[in-house]
A and B are shown apart, each in its own frame.
Chain A
Amino acid sequence: MQSRVEHLSTTATSGPLQRSKIKDMSAEVVDSNPYSRLMALQRMGIVNNYERIREFSVAIVGIGGVGSVASEMLTRCGIGRLLLYDYDTVELANMNRLFFRPEQAGMTKTDAAVQTLSDINPDVVLESYTLNITTVQGFETFISSLRSKSFCPSKEGCGVDLVLSCVDNYEARMVVNQACNELNQTWMESGVSEDAVSGHIQLLIPGETACFACAPPLVVASGIDERTLKREGVCAASLPTTMGIVAGLLVQNTLKYLLKFGHVSPYLGYNALKDYFPTMEMKPNPQCSNSVCLERQKEYALAKPARDAAAKAKMEAEAPSEIECLHEDNEWNISVVDDTDLQGPDVGKSSGALPEGLVHELPSADEFQKTPGSEESANLVDDLEDLKRQLEAINAD
C-alpha cells in the first residue's frame, strides 16, 4: 500500500498546501480535522463504524461525468482505495461537467483524477488504469487488477469490495458485467440517458440479482417521444446536474452497502422532467445468455440452506423475545413465508411487467434455429487459413 502511494505521488502535483496523511480517523471537532463531520455519523448512530471506510477498495470504471464526481465523493468520504479505469483524455468539451479543470485538458482522465484526488485527500490509495476494458488485452489487465489483494491480503474473494460502472455505453457495461460475473463480484451500474434528462443506478449481485445480460437494460422513460427527439448533428447531450445527481445516488448507495446502514436500493431511476424516482427489483433469468451468470445462479441456489440457517441464527441472536411475541398474537396477520419460496414459476420474469416509467432499452435476442442450408455452405471451405487467403485475394483485386 505504501509503495503504491509513493508510486502515484509522481503523477500527483503536490501543492504547497497539501495536508499530510492522517493515521487514524478522529471524531474530534476541530477545524483541522477533515473527518469530524463524517465521524459524527457514528456519534449520531446512523453508522456503526464509520472508520471501516478506510478498509474498503472501490473500482470506478469510466471517469467521465458520473465516475469523476463519484470518485471525488468517495475520496472526500475517506475511502481506503480507489481504482480508476478510463482510456480517454480530458477535453475542453468535458467542461460542462463537474470535476475536471481546463488546465487538465490533454491529460488522461485517470491521471488528471489522481492529481486532483490526491490533493483533496492524501489518505486515499489511488490506482490509475488507462486502458480500454472492452479489448481482450484491456480486459485481462482489468480482471487481474480487480483480483489483486495487495491492499488487503486477508480479504475474501477478490481484491475490491465494490465495482462501480460509470461508463456511457452498453458495450462497456456488458464487459463490466462479464468481469463481475466471472469474479463473483458485487457491482453497481449507473447511467444517464443520451438526452441528459433521466438516469438510474442498479445493484448487481452475481447469482442473486439479475445480471446486466439477464434482461435487456432497463432505463427510465424520459416521457419524450423518440420521434420528436432531434438527433441531427449530435450524439449525446449532457448536463452537470443530472450527472451529479446520479453520481450522488450511486455513492449514497455505495456508502449504505459498504457501511451497512439504511436500505440499499436494487434499482433506482431518476426522471428529471417529472422529478419521478421509480424503483424495482430484478431476479436472475434462468435462461440468461451469459453462461457465467448461470453458474453463479446455481451456486446461489446451492447455498440457500446455509443462508437460511445464518439468517435464522442472526434473527434469534438479535431479538429472540420479540420474535416469540410475533408468533403469539399476529395482530397484523403477517404470513411468515420465506420470500425466496414465492418465486415459483415467476423466476426470471424480470422482463415481464415493468413499473411505470421504466422501459427496456433494447429488445431480447430472437429465438433462432440453425437452418439446414447453413451447414451445407459451411462444408465448402472449412479452413480458417484458406478463408483468410480468399478474403485477401478479393481485397487485393
Chain B
Amino acid sequence: MEGWDPTTKSTLTQIPLLSVKAGPRDGAAWTQRSKEEYKALIAYTSMNKANDNDWFRISAANPEGTRWTGKCWYIHNLLKYEFDLQFDIPVTYPATAPELELPQLDGKTQKMYRGGKICLTVHFKPLWAKNCPRFGIAHALCLGLAPWLAAEIPVLVDSGMIKHKDDASSSIES
C-alpha cells in the first residue's frame, strides 16, 4: 500500500472485508453482497465513533440499495464543514468502485469531475482493482472520500471557495 498515510492504512485494515462478487443486476447474490456491505458500514461507522473520528452518515436511498445518500463533514480550524454525499452503485460493481459525489462542491474545485464526482488519487483505482471483490462501500469512503476531504477542504476554505455556514447565515448552531 505504497502512497497511503499510516492512519488510512490502519483504519482500512480494521474494516471487515467482503466476499460475494455481485452487482445490482445479480438478484439474490446482490442481496448477499448487500448484507456484507451493511456489516462493513456498521463496523466502520462504529469504529469511527469509538475513535472520536465520526465523519459521515450514509444509507440506501432506494429498496434495491443501488442509490445511496447521506452527509460527510470535515473539521478545519475547529469549524465543521458539512456536505451532501451521494453515489450510485454501478452495474459493473464491484469490479468498478462507486463514483462518490459531493454535488454542493460541483464546479468549486479542479479536483472534481462534472456532476461533483470526486477525483481520486492515482493510488485508489489500482488498490480497488487488486482487492476486488473484498472492498465495498465502506472501503471506498475510507480510501477515496476521507483523504479527498483532508486534502481539499482546507484548500477550499483558505481560498474562500467555501464558507462556514455560520459566516453565511449567521446562525449560532455549530
B8-51 interface bits toward A, Cβ cutoff 8 Å, 1 = contact, 0 = none: 00000000110101001100000100111011011001100100
Chain B residues near A234 (CB, 8 Å)? 110-111
Question: Contact between B114 and A289 (Cβ–Cβ < 8 Å)?
Answer: no
* Chain A interface residues (CB < 8 Å from chain B): 87-89, 91, 132, 134-136, 139, 169-171, 174-175, 177-178, 213, 216, 226, 231, 233-236, 289-290, 362-366, 368, 370, 374, 377-378, 381-382, 384, 387-388, 390-392, 394-395, 397
Within 8 A of A (CB), among B65-105: 66-67, 70, 88-92, 95-97, 99
Question: Contact between A174 and B92 (Cβ–Cβ < 8 Å)?
Answer: yes
Within 8 A of A (CB), among B89-129: 89-92, 95-97, 99, 110-115, 119, 122, 125-126, 129
Within 8 A of A (CB), among B126-174: 126, 129-134
Chain B residues near A384 (CB, 8 Å)? 31, 34-35, 38
Q: Which of A91, A136, A370, A388 contacts B38 (CB 8 A)?
A: A388
* Chain B interface residues (CB < 8 Å from chain A): 16-17, 19, 21, 24-25, 31, 34-36, 38-39, 41-42, 45-46, 49, 57-60, 64, 66-67, 70, 88-92, 95-97, 99, 110-115, 119, 122, 125-126, 129-134
Q: Which of B42, B90, B114 contacts A88 (CB 8 A)?
A: B114
Question: Contact between B110 and A175 (Cβ–Cβ < 8 Å)?
Answer: no
Given known A-B contacts A136-B66, A366-B130, A390 and B38 have beta carbons under 8 A apart: yes
Bound-state CA distance A89–B106 (Å) is 13
14 contacting pairs across A/B (C-beta < 8 A): A132-B88, A134-B88, A134-B91, A135-B66, A135-B90, A136-B66, A289-B21, A289-B132, A290-B95, A363-B130, A368-B134, A377-B16, A378-B36, A395-B70
Given known A-B contacts A134-B90, A136-B25, A374-B19, A390 and B114 have beta carbons under 8 A apart: no
Residue of B nearest to A397 (CB): B49
Q: Which of A89, A171, A233 contacts B96 (CB 8 A)?
A: A171
Question: Contact between B91 and A136 (Cβ–Cβ < 8 Å)?
Answer: yes
Bound-state CA distance A289–B97 (Å) is 16
Q: Which of A231, A236, A374, A394 has most B Cβ within 10 Å?
A: A394
Chain A residues near B91 (CB, 8 Å)? 134-136, 139, 175, 178
Bound-state CA distance A363–B24 (Å) is 24
Residue of B nearest to A87 (CB): B115
Q: Which of B89, B92, B125, B132 contacts A175 (CB 8 A)?
A: B92
Q: Which of B38, B70, B130 contacts A364 (CB 8 A)?
A: B130
Question: Contact between A362 and B39 (Cβ–Cβ < 8 Å)?
Answer: no
Question: Contact between B35 and A374 (Cβ–Cβ < 8 Å)?
Answer: no
Question: Contact between A174 and B96 (Cβ–Cβ < 8 Å)?
Answer: yes
Chain B residues near A374 (CB, 8 Å)? 16-17, 19
Question: Contact between B19 and A387 (Cβ–Cβ < 8 Å)?
Answer: no
B41 to chain A, nearest CB (A): 6
Bound-state CA distance A281–B99 (Å) is 31
Residue of A nearest to B113 (CB): A235
Question: Contact between B45 and A394 (Cβ–Cβ < 8 Å)?
Answer: yes
Q: Which of B21, B38, B110, B113 contacts A391 (CB 8 A)?
A: B38
Question: Contact between B16 and A394 (Cβ–Cβ < 8 Å)?
Answer: no
Question: Contact between B110 and A233 (Cβ–Cβ < 8 Å)?
Answer: yes
Question: Contact between A363 and B96 (Cβ–Cβ < 8 Å)?
Answer: no
Chain A residues near B67 (CB, 8 Å)? 135
Question: Contact between B38 and A88 (Cβ–Cβ < 8 Å)?
Answer: no
Q: Which of A88, A171, A235, A363 contacts B97 (CB 8 A)?
A: A171
Question: Contact between B129 and A364 (Cβ–Cβ < 8 Å)?
Answer: yes
A132 to chain B, nearest CB (A): 8
Chain A residues near B41 (CB, 8 Å)? 391
B100 to chain A, nearest CB (A): 12
